[in-house]
């Protein structure tokens, strides 16, 4: 939830990678030119830069960089170039908790309140029943991305403030009823790690996981990443062209996000996991029992029907484990996860029975680019006929985007022609408050009326009338791709009762969870004052 310009080729090993070389069972397979496929994907999906790590049977087959770190700068991506990996950090949080379970300091089914007494959900029963396991399994009853506007895009809420606001976020379903991806409860999980370690999440992850694995380049804050000499710039689409954007600090959301890593280090991470939780020297970092728990099915996930061209990707089972999503492909179980932040997308995928790991890190917002490559690599290693995944995903992406534009066009065409707001524009100005986010303001600035989220400095935009009492807010930061409808409901006396929001585009990232907001006026509007 893109990518532009001529890319500059770079690989940290040989220009031609023949995957079959290190896999005796595939000795007769034709040579596979990974580099050619990656460079084609960069061009096809307009991705400036990418890093790929492949491990097999305890050996690093590839830890390569491709393309450039930043558009307009020919400096190439290499195996040490850092990327924000967003939700691929969740596996590190789950692993750190597994280590605490190994040490007897926590149990998966401990109540969260045993370790964080102030923890509170909207429902008192859920507060008491929520376990450490529940924090990781996306079955809390919260809706998709519920509460993410507390940290996305960058806010000035503290971690403690975010956790405290959970008590105001209404559930969408009953507790443990169904799967819905969330981030806030992983922030709570990160807080448990910090509490048990007596130090911040980042320092605990550094000490417990990164240092033992010699993941020496990996950083647990954006500030630390930017202090290095080898990091990638994020890129987002602005007016259908990739552009460099500023990195997104996420220090208040660590546990859910927070890891900044490179191909060489992520290869070490996958090697440990695929090696039964052992370090290179044989030391057990995570017990085999707890590693199996991470990769065990906890929450069933709905299997969606793919488009016919992508039918081969349909799994027979789909579930979420602890920090990993689980599925099958060609008869093999896969443990994987995706990560997405503004300007960075990543995928980490492992096939435990094959001891195969694939990680793809990109400095753009394009899932098809990654999917087209990991399916191709999997096909090669599993010795199955390969599809032209790059073309299939490119065609699908183009068709989906065209369909979305047509849907938006119909929405515009269906609006009431020449309708006007019920009130003078100045009457919509004022402060509005949502129970969990807090305040937004609408104010006049010349002839414009601007909406600003008070705790999210970059979430400011101009209101444009759509129809009746519905407006569209056009955010100044165009890379958000998250313009939203703003609809006012009036009381019988023509005062404003409430304000609701919804994304204009179906392509807007779910973490812009505008639909979960329910604003009411904080103080009388100008029309109310005039009436009085």
- Residue found by looking up tokens 């890129």 in the block: 235
pLDDT at 529: 54
DSSP at 117: T
pLDDT, tens only, 327-360: 999 999 999 999 999 999 999 999 999 999 999 9
Beta carbons within 10 angstroms of residue 74's beta carbon: 11
Query: pTM of the prediction?
Result: 0.92
Query: From CA 78, how far away is CA 31, in angstroms rounded?
Result: 23
Q: Examine residue 9 and state whether it is found in any structural domain, yes or no.
A: no
pLDDT at 13: 26
- The residue among 404, 344, 393 whose CA lies nearest residue 368 is 393
CATH number of domain containing 441: 2.40.128.50
Query: From CA 271, how far away is CA 287, in angstroms rounded?
Result: 15
Residues 153 and 215 in one domain: yes
CATH number of domain containing 29: 3.40.710.10
Bridge partner list, 59: 56
How many structural domains is the chain composed of?
A: 2
Angle at 444 between CA 442 and CA 447, to 5 degrees: 135
User: H or E element: which one contains 431?
Assistant: strand 430-434
Q: Examine residue 415 and state whether it is found in any structural domain, yes or no.
A: no
- Residues with pLDDT less than 50, the chain: 1-30, 531-532
Q: Examine residue 411 and state whether it is found in any structural domain, yes or no.
A: no
Residues 315 and 436 in one domain: no
Angle between helices 90-102 and 184-197 (to 10 degrees): 40
Q: Examine residue 190 and state whether it is found in any structural domain, yes or no.
A: yes
**19 near 358, Cβ under 8 Å?**
no
Query: From CA 376, how far away is CA 374, in angstroms rounded?
Result: 5
pLDDT, tens only, 188-210: 999 999 999 999 999 999 999 99
Residues 343 and 290 in one domain: yes
pLDDT, tens only, 112-130: 999 999 999 999 999 999 9
Residues 149 and 224 in one domain: yes
Q: Which two tokens stand for residue 470?
A: 């519905």
Which among 343, 366, 401 is the end of a domain? 401
Bridge partner list, 73: 70
Residues 394 and 455 in one domain: no
pLDDT at 526: 55
Residues 397 and 429 in one domain: no
Residues 367 and 440 in one domain: no
pLDDT at 523: 73
Nearest 10 degrees: CA dihedral of 64, 66, 69, 70? -170
Q: Examine residue 63 and state whether it is found in any structural domain, yes or no.
A: yes
Residues 329 and 389 in one domain: yes
Q: Examine residue 367 and state whether it is found in any structural domain, yes or no.
A: yes
Residues 439 and 522 in one domain: yes
Which among 354, 386, 401 is the end of a domain? 401
Residues 160 and 227 in one domain: yes
Residues 345 and 463 in one domain: no
Q: Examine residue 118 and state whether it is found in any structural domain, yes or no.
A: yes
Buried b (16+ CB within 10 A) or exposed e, 498-529: bbbbebbeeebbbbbbbbbbbbebeeebebbe
pLDDT at 240: 86
Residues 285 and 158 in one domain: yes
Q: How far is CA 41 from CA 250, 327, 367, 523, in A?
A: 29, 24, 11, 53
pLDDT at 121: 99
Q: Examine residue 10 and state whether it is found in any structural domain, yes or no.
A: no
Containing structural domain, residue 134: 19-401
Burial class (CB within 10 angstroms; exposed 0-12, middle 13-18, buried 19+) of 1? middle
């Amino acid at each position: 939830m893109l990518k532009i310009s001529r890319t500059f080729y770079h690989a940290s090993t040989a220009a031609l990678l023949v995957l079959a070389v290190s896999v005796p069972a595939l000795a007769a397979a034709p040579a596979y030119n990974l580099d050619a496929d990656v460079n084609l994907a960069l061009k096809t999906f307009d991705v400036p830069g990418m890093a790929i790590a492949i491990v097999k049977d305890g050996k690093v087959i590839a830890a390569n960089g491709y393309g450039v770190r930043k558009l307009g700068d020919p400096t190439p991506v290499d195996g040490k170039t850092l990327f924000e990996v967003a939700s691929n950090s969740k596996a590190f949080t789950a692993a750190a908790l597994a280590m605490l379970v190994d040490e007897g300091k926590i149990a998966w089914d401990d109540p969260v309140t045993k370790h964080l007494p102030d923890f509170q959900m909207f429902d008192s029963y859920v507060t008491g029943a929520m376990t450490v396991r529940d924090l990781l399994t996306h079955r809390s009853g919260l809706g998709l991305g519920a509460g993410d506007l507390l940290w996305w895009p960058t806010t000035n809420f503290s971690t403690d403030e975010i956790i405290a606001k959970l008590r105001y976020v209404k559930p969408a379903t009953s507790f443990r009823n169904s799967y819905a991806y969330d981030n806030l409860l992983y922030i709570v999980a990160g807080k448990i790690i910090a509490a048990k370690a007596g130090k911040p999440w980042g320092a605990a992850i550094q000490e417990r996981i990164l240092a033992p694995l010699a993941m020496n380049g990996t950083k647990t804050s954006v500030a630390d990443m930017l202090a290095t000499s080898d990091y990638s710039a994020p890129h987002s689409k602005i007016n259908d062209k990739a552009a460099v954007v500023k990195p997104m600090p996420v220090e208040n959301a660590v546990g859910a996000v927070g890891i900044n890593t490179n191909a060489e280090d992520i290869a070490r991470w996958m090697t440990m996991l695929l090696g039964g939780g052992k370090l290179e020297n044989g030391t057990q970092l995570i017990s085999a029992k707890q590693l199996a728990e991470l990769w065990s099915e906890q929450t069933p996930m709905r299997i969606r029907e793919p488009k016919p061209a992508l039918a081969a990707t349909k799994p027979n089972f789909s579930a979420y484990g602890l920090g990993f999503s689980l599925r099958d492909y060609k008869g093999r179980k896969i443990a994987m996860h995706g990560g997405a932040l503004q300007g960075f997308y990543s995928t980490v995928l492992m096939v435990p029975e094959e001891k195969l790991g694939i990680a793809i890190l990109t400095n753009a917002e394009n899932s098809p680019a990654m999917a087209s490559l990991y399916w191709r690599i999997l096909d090669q290693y599993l010795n199955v006929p390969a599809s032209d995944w790059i073309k299939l995903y490119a065609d699908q992406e183009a068709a989906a985007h065209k369909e979305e534009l047509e849907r938006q066009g119909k929405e515009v065409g269906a609006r009431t022609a020449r309708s006007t707001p019920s009130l003078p524009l100045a009457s919509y100005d004022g402060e509005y408050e949502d129970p969990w986010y807090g305040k937004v303001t609408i104010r006049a600035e010349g002839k414009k009326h601007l909406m600003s989220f008070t705790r999210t400095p970059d979430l400011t935009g101009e209101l444009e009338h759509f129809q009746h009492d519905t407006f569209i807010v056009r955010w100044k930061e165009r890379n958000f791709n998250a313009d939203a409808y703003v609809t006012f409901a009036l009381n019988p006396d023509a005062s404003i009762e409430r304000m609701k929001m919804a994304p204009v585009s179906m392509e807007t990232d779910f973490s812009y969870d505008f639909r979960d907001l329910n604003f009411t006026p904080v103080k009388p509007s100008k029309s109310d004052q005039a009436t009085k």
